[in-house]
Amino acid sequence: MPDDFSSIGPDLPDPFRLLVRDSVGSTNDEIRKVADAGAPEGLIILAERQTEGRGRRGAAWFSPPGESLAFSVLLRPSEPKALWPRLALATGLAVAEALEEYIPLVGIKWPNDVWVKGRKIAGILVEAGKDYAVVGIGLNVSTLSFPLEVSGTATSLALETGHPPSRPEVLASIIQRLATRHHQIGSDFSSVIDSIRLRCVLTGHRVSLTTPTGPREEDVAGISNTGELVLRTETGLETLLQADEVRIID
């Protein structure tokens, strides 16, 4: 029996409202269309099936119908656009806090993944438009098996708890936290960073990462006050605003 997402309408804080579709190419793309047409902040588009779901740098996102949450949220932040990249961390924290209703301390892998016991349970993709931001979230809920290429690195609420909660319940919990956290990317960002540092899975580890200047291997000292990754290099501490393919070596 399909999940009844209409039941959580009263649990969504203003101005959030939910639109469920059976199938779309990408929920981020669907939000972009309505945002460009002037839709107000707070619209959530959730799809049971995405034919072109993607993560960062266009990577495909595994999202079996009925087993995961694949949705995007339209935000129109009042903060300067230069601060909008912080939405990835704020959203990751909102997801982690929601999952901690069912699982002990959930990890955050800078800049946009949520981990449980060393495996990815959720990914976040934030894309900016002219005057809006699209926050895409993919979360594995009841999936019990994954494709071979990610079977060793992915997990789900079902695998971690044995009895996954309903998808509508989890969605409502995430939105309730996002409603607060997305407003904290400006003057209150320190509270976001403090909570992320408690959950950062990279701190203290050596990582390989791809940067705008090429591949590197460095030790991670932590997360800066403004959300950058802090690396401990031979010449001292260095902050990194963005990187791809961040992998823990030891």
H helix and E strand count, the chain? 5, 12
Same domain, 195 and 210: no
Residue 51's pLDDT is 80
Percent of the chain's residues with pLDDT above 70: 95
Same domain, 99 and 182: yes
Same domain, 21 and 140: yes
Same domain, 222 and 124: no
Domain harbouring 92, CATH code: 3.30.930.10
Residue 244's pLDDT is 83
Same domain, 189 and 138: yes
User: 217-231 pLDDT, tens per residue?
Assistant: 999 999 999 999 999
Over residues 52-61, mean pLDDT:
56
Residue 217, C-beta contacts closer than 8 angstroms, at least 6 positions apart: 206, 207, 208, 209, 249
How many structural domains does the chain have? 2
**How many angstroms separate the CA atoms of 163 and 87, rounded?**
30
Query: Measuring CA to CA, which residue among 83, 149, 162, 78 is closest to residue 120?
Result: 149
- For the ranges 60-64, 84-88, 201-205, 238-242, which has the lowest average pLDDT? 60-64
Q: Select the more confidently predicted residue: 50 or 93.
A: 93
User: 161-191 pLDDT, tens per residue?
Assistant: 998 889 999 999 999 999 999 999 999 999 9
Domain harbouring 212, CATH code: 2.30.30
* Residue 117, domain extent: 5-199
Same domain, 172 and 242: no
